[in-house]
Chains A and B, each alone.
Chain A
Amino acid sequence: MDRSLIAIIAVLLILAPASRAALTPEQIKALPPAASGPVDFKSQIKPIFEASCIRCHGRGRNRGGFQIDSRQSLLKGGDTGPGAAPGHSADSYIIELVSGLNPDEVMPKKGKKLTPEEVGALRAWIDQGLPWDPDISFAPIPPQNLVPRAPKMPAAHNENNPVDRFVDVYFEQHHNEAPHLVDDRTYARRVYLDTIGLLPPPDELEAFVASHKSNKRAALVKSLLGRGDAYAQNWLTFWNDMLRNDYKGTGYIDGGREQITRWLYSALLTNMPYDQFVAQLIHPNKDSEGFSQGIVWRGFVNASQMPQMQAAQNVSQVFMGVNLKCASCHDSFINDWQLSDAYGLANVFSDQPLEIYRCDVPTGQKAATKFIFPQLGDLPATTNKQERLRALASVITGPKDGRLSRTIVNRLWARFLGRGLVEPVDDMQQIAWDPDLLDWLAQDLVAHHFDVKQTIERILTSRAYQLSAVDLGELQSTNYVFTGPDIRRMTAEQFRDALASLTGAGYAAPNANVSMSEDVQKQFGPKYQARWIWNVPGAAHNAKVGSIYLRKTIRLRTPPDQADALIYCDNGFELFVNGHKVSSGADFTRPFVVNLKPWLKTGENLIAVEATNSAPDPTAATTNGPSPNPAGLYIYARVRADSRGKERVVDFVSDRSWIVTDKKTAGWENPSFDARNWTPASELGLGGIAPWKLPDDMIARQFVRRAKGGVRASLVAADPLMAAMGRPNREQVVTTRASAATTLQALELTNGKTLATVLHEGAANLIRQKSSGPELVRSIYEEALGRTPTLEEFALAQEWIGNKPTRAGVEDFLWAVVMLPNFQLIY
């Protein structure tokens, strides 16, 4: 034979499909025998495939070129030949592989190996000609909850709220009992917490209960949703959890993480339409880019956790209810997403096409950019990342996407009713227990231009929401039937804010850097101009080391309802009111906000301050001599009194009306002290002067508070109490918090310092405000539980507190009340 013929034959032999050798008679004898009797595909073969085969050969996956999506594809086989020979199980490759004749080539490579009985069933099935139910397929399952849909509205039975029309149909189908609606008190407590995260103040609650207006519940919801800052401060928590946003945390030390707090708060304050909200997170501006940037660690990072992969995972989880985490390392075993899907989406966030890593090993292949739901729209093939991001944002928020809207309304439903229409809420491929209701709520959101507050209103005014709470506990997922909202538990922030309302012991200063609304600025901003003062002009540049003493007399016609002083002092101060030392501070970089109310009285009040300029930092000396040592005192006191329903402003500020001396004489801080020879203070300038440069909105931001209590918990970093009560470390996206009580939590509540301090301070506040035991008991019940105590409860509490309550007694009473299930749970 000439050489070219040999070459051709050689090539043909090489190219010929590898065909397996037939089994030897010994090997055939070693096979498990075929089962006897007719085989039922659905009950016998389908489970084997699902347990052992489809992970690699089904749902669009085809390892070794072999797919068992259908009978046809199974017979066709893969790279090494046909899968089975109908009627001849002993000749079927699939049998050879699953029976483990060759231990190096047993199938499945991973997962549950087939038992001899299962092999036997498979053999019988093949011998019987592979009967395959036509309606069963292992092809990829089409995405659920994707296409927008406007279901037909059921007829009304006295229901104005469309939600209830759907729920009525559901109830009929499930033979649910006639629904029982909760009373006004229970309803009010729910909606206050669900909209603004606060307990209803007793006066507002009583007014609501007493009102005879026919639509009062709907009106209440609307009014609460209109409270811009309170709403924003409540929902900040929800979105901080979901967008991994926090004020402290991993990555802030070395710049591997960025906050989106200002942007987020502003978006909530203005009720930014949800489609814009999502678009600005996907295609971000400078203030919103922290979310898609993820958390960057120095050093080698597993390929599946590169920032672009984090973005793909988080965007798909939060907005689309899709879990790409598994598919970030390999084709997913728990759903149908593949490695190329995760990388395709990650590519959108990448400047260069990413190299695909499988299980952190490079494959040498570059990813092709694609969207996980290509049916929703195309992404342009462009090297311009901004264009790609804009396109992705547009596709996700576009009219074809019914997944975005369903995901958010489902999260809201879960939030208010304790369990989503779809569960788990991060797996929107699951079917809702009422698909029509889910679809309708989703299209309703879109129809109202993605107005989230509107959807919240829909849900909170529905009868479904107003039903008595049901306690499902751990049975939540098995055979769920909706019969009413789940009993829920207050979040850590709600618990802490409720404590603050109850006791006046809130947080002093926020960690979050947010801009308050104009309303808040108007309400809490300064009415007068405060000025930096000292005993000499020019102190803003340089002043002697040492202390000065200042006095100011103010006159009040009535005792104030609110009196808070904001104090900045370079470097330190001690504050006295009517001779009592009330506060001190030694940090010129931050303001101190002090409650003056307990110390002020009708008539003349003396405010006295010892202000100290410390020695300058010696290491800051320059070759030109010691560095300048500025000194200054800045006080804005917001004092308000209620005068026949109107608020009277009696604020006072630091200015030249204060008198000052630099000589300390005993008793200088007392009202009776004769300070005739003191001189007027020198005004150095307005708040914004150098070197301190206080921002314009600083006063409003510091004074923002509810009627009682300090800054809200959502604006401060986690403390041990909040962490114990379930506030998460936001290193990963958190869409639902665990609410089960744990022993560590209970330990923190039982003897933790944080709570003990709050109760201690709170008890002192309460004793000052309410003089008698009975008054105190009633007031705490009304504030904490929204009702008066029963006779038995009152008797018990009275016995405990007595007529002249002591601080310890009130502390322990408060503790017992806030540990009540009725306080912590939302019925």
Chain B
Amino acid sequence: MNMMKHNWNRRDFLKTASAATLGALAAGAPRQGLAADQPAIQPTADTVIVLWMAGGMAHTETFDPKRYVPFSKGMPASDMLSTFPQIDTAVDNIKFSQGLEKIANVMDRGTLIRSYTAGDLGFILHTRHQYQWHTGYAPPQTVACPHIGAVIARTLGPKNPAMPAFIDIGQRFDVGEGEELKSFHTAGFLGSEFGPFLIADPADAAESVRPPEGMSPARFENREKFYKALVAQTPTDQFGSAYQRESLLRSMDNAHRLLSSPAAQSFDLTLEPKESYDKYNTGRFGLGCLLARRLTEAGARFIEVTSEYIPFEYFDTHENGHTRMADLKKSIDGPIAQLVLDLEERGLLNRTLIVVASEFSRDALLEGKPDKPVKDQVDEPAKVDDEKFYGMHRHFTDAGSVLLFGGGVKRGHLHGVTAEERPCKTLKDRVVIEDLHASIYRAVGISPRLSYDIERRPFYVTRDGVGQPILELFA
């Protein structure tokens, strides 16, 4: 096993932090507001990894299996609750859907929430729900809302100062609903210092922290040397104090430092021993999990790995739900389990919170919530004649599974109950996004009532500051 050693010195942080970070941390806007009566929270995690199942991951096909009826030509659509049989997990009272055996084996390292319910936004739009999941607010908004990763980056700062604090892996933005995706992959009004460092393809991650294509390390160093020398020669003395100039030069320094630091090696998947690499290599998402592990070892603060949202692809199953889920489970099962095991082996799992989530769930027949249905978007015949109609193709927002590992959560714990028959909705211990965020924030020591001032208005990190951490989730 190859464990990377990383040394970084927190004392060096101030030297390396850009002027923007310093200004923000010292006195500048946006200003933090903390309720005076908030007791200090003891963090149980230093790093957060969100594994984002984009497109709507059906709970009855994954972590909350129900009655299984295999496909038969002409079967009633109402018989489709789970299209896979159940399997045991390492926890007695928790069963998974077939195809997730490896994650089942590590269920005793974490907590399963079965009662996540998405917001009522009327017409189901994936990116709109994704925006709400990632910022806590439903668009449109009067200010550019920050992504949860940006909030954590801004509030806690980077862990290893050489690493970008917020890294986002796996999404391309020039496809599908790229513009809508861009609107929440941002630090918003917190400022782009805390925005996501984007890596569309983990296999290419090393490139993003290397000199530009075709430039050797030697040439890169020479270019930097020449640049510094040119800066030193440029006459600037007549212009008094130099805030703008220093801010620019310092940011260039930081960029150069990352590209030439040992931390940059963590981006290079080719340095991973083959045996380990192969365990993760189920595709882009799997390699993204490997990258997330390496970045965590190198001191990243917040990492999101997405299975990628492209309309009607991946988890966004509008047809062939069963066969596609079989493939999807293959692509996530090994890597997610391996990530948990690897972090545990390296003694990092206790301080790393992993969150596996999706914007909403799916059902074969219901769209929205049973008591608040929304417009149907997918045709589903009453009798299933063709396998392409066998699966969960509609968008269900009244239940959902969220899997949490590490970072101080209970081990082998189940939270929330859903109905056994349609509608498979939440019956007990409902979890809404502001409380899920509050729980994540609590793990890293951030109050749900924390606010940042924008245009003199306090903007709370959970919706209007009402988020309540779910204490039962924590050991």
**Cβ of B312 under 8 Å from chain A:** no
Answer yes or no: B258 CB below 8 A from chain A CBs. Answer: yes
Most buried by B among A253, A323, A731, A812: A731
Binds B, one of A11-19, A128-136, A819-827: A819-827
Docked Cα-Cα span, A744 to B150, in Å, equals 13
Most chain B C-beta atoms within 10 Å of own C-beta, residue among A310, A470, A741: A741
Q: Which positions 704-748 of chain A face chain B at CB distance < 8 Å?
A: 724, 726, 728-729, 731-732, 738-747
Q: What is the minimal beta-carbon distance from A736 to any residue of chain B, in angstroms? A: 11
Interface positions, chain B 233-271, Cβ under 8 Å from A, are 233-236, 238-245, 247-252, 254-256, 258-259
Whether the Cβ atoms of B144 and A732 lie closer than 8 Å is yes
Which one of A298, A471, A742, A822 has the greatest number of beta carbons of chain B within 10 Å? Answer: A742
Closest to A296 in B: B140
Contact at A741–B250, with CB atoms within 8 Å?
yes
- Within B97-148, the residues touching A (CB, 8 Å) are 120-125, 128, 138-144
In angstroms, Cα B20 to Cα A400, docked, is 43
Question: Cβ of A742 and Cβ of B248 under 8 Å apart?
Answer: no
B8 at the interface (CB under 8 A from A): no
Which one of A79-87, A215-223, A531-539, A790-798 is at the B interface? Answer: A790-798
A605 to B58, CA, bound (A): 65
Q: Do residues A302 and B138 form an inter-chain contact, with CB atoms below 8 A?
A: yes
Q: Does A238 contact B (CB under 8 A)?
A: no
Indicate if the CB atoms of A821 and B236 lie closer than 8 Å. yes
Distance from B99 Cβ to chain A, minimum over Cβ atoms (Å): 33
Q: Indicate if the CB atoms of A825 and B227 lie closer than 8 Å.
A: no
Q: A746 to B197: give the CA distance in the assembly, Å.
A: 12
Q: In the complex the two chains form, is A753's CB within 8 Å of B258's CB?
A: no
B23 within 8 A of A: yes
Q: Does A305 contact B (CB under 8 A)?
A: yes
Determine whether the beta carbon of B179 is less than 8 Å from that of A249.
Answer: yes
Q: Report the minimum CB–CB distance from B204 to chain A (whole Å).
A: 11
| Mask: chain B, 397-423; 1 = CB below 8 Å from A; 0 = not | 000000000000000000000000000
| Alpha-carbon gap, A305 to B122, bound state (A) | 15
* B198 to A, closest residue via Cβ: A720
A494 sits at the interface (CB 8 A): no
A424 to B455, CA, bound (A): 9
Bound together, the chains give a CA A732 to CA B21 distance in angstroms of: 24
Residues in A with CB closer than 8 Å to B227 are: 815-816, 819
A283 at the interface (CB under 8 A from B): no
Residues of chain B contacted by A325 (CB below 8 angstroms) = 142-143, 455, 457
- Nearest-neighbour CB distance to chain B for A141, whole angstroms, equals 15
**Would you call A744 and B164 a contact (CB within 8 A)?**
yes
> Is A374's CB within 8 Å of the partner chain B?
no
Q: Is the CB of A250 within 8 A of B20?
A: no
A328 near B142 (CB under 8 angstroms)?
A: yes
Q: A295-B140, A741-B20, A816-B230 are in contact. Are A471 and B251 (CB under 8 A)?
A: no
Contact partner of A489 among B212, B244, B256, CB < 8 A? B244
Using CB atoms, name the residue of chain A closest to B195: A744
> B2-23: which residues lie under 8 A (CB-CB) from chain A?
18-21, 23
Flag if B192 contacts A744 (CB, 8 Å). Answer: yes
B456: interface (CB < 8 Å):
yes
Question: Interface code A621-644, partner B: CB below 8 Å = 1, 0 otherwise?
Answer: 000000000000000000000000
Least CB distance from B16 to A in Å reads 9
- Residue A224 is within 8 A (CB to CB) of chain B in the complex: no
Q: Smallest distance from the beta carbon of A240 to chain B beta carbons, Å?
A: 15
Given the known A-B contacts A248-B179, A313-B142, are A793 and B230 also in contact in the complex, defined by CB atoms under 8 Å? Answer: yes
Chain B: interface size category: 35 or more
Residue of chain A at shortest CB distance from B129? A299
Q: Is the CB of A74 closer than 8 A to any CB of chain B? A: no
Is A620 in contact with chain B by the CB < 8 A criterion? Answer: no
Is A731 within 8 A of B140, CB to CB?
yes
Q: Which segment, of B81-89, B180-188, B288-296, B314-322, faces chain A?
A: B180-188
**Contacts A738-B192, A740-B23, A742-B193 given; does A300 touch B120 at CB 8 Å:** yes
For A469, the closest partner residue in chain B by CB is B239
Does the CB pair A741–B179 fall under 8 Å?
Answer: no
The answer to whether A747 and B193 touch across the interface, beta carbons within 8 angstroms, is: no
Is the CB–CB distance between A299 and B123 below 8 Å?
A: yes
B445 at the binding interface (Cβ < 8 Å): no
- Judge if A204 is at the interface, Cβ distance under 8 Å: no
Residues of A within 8 A of B211 (CB): 751
Interface core residue of B128, B179, B457 (most chain A CB under 10 Å): B179
Shortest Cβ distance from residue A708 to the other chain B in the assembled complex, whole angstroms:
23
Is B231 engaged at the interface, CB distance under 8 Å to the other chain? Answer: yes
CB–CB B240/A301 < 8 A: no
The 10 closest A-B pairs by CB, nearest first: A473-B243, A299-B122, A746-B255, A300-B122, A299-B123, A741-B251, A746-B251, A756-B212, A742-B193, A821-B245
Chain A residues engaging chain B, CB cutoff 8 angstroms: 248-250, 252-253, 294-295, 297-302, 304-305, 310, 313, 323, 325-326, 328, 333-334, 424, 426, 468-474, 487, 489, 724, 726, 728-729, 731-732, 738-747, 749-753, 756, 790, 792-793, 796-797, 800, 808, 812-813, 815-817, 819-822, 824-825, 827
Q: List 21 A-B contacts (CB under 8 A).
A: A250-B139, A250-B179, A252-B179, A299-B122, A301-B122, A305-B140, A305-B141, A325-B142, A470-B240, A473-B243, A473-B244, A729-B182, A732-B142, A738-B191, A740-B247, A743-B254, A744-B164, A745-B251, A750-B252, A815-B223, A821-B245
Question: What 19 additional pairs, Cβ within 8 angstroms, besides A248-B179, A295-B140, A745-B251?
Answer: A252-B179, A304-B142, A305-B141, A305-B142, A468-B238, A469-B239, A471-B244, A473-B243, A473-B244, A474-B23, A487-B239, A487-B245, A743-B18, A747-B197, A750-B212, A751-B209, A812-B223, A821-B234, A822-B234
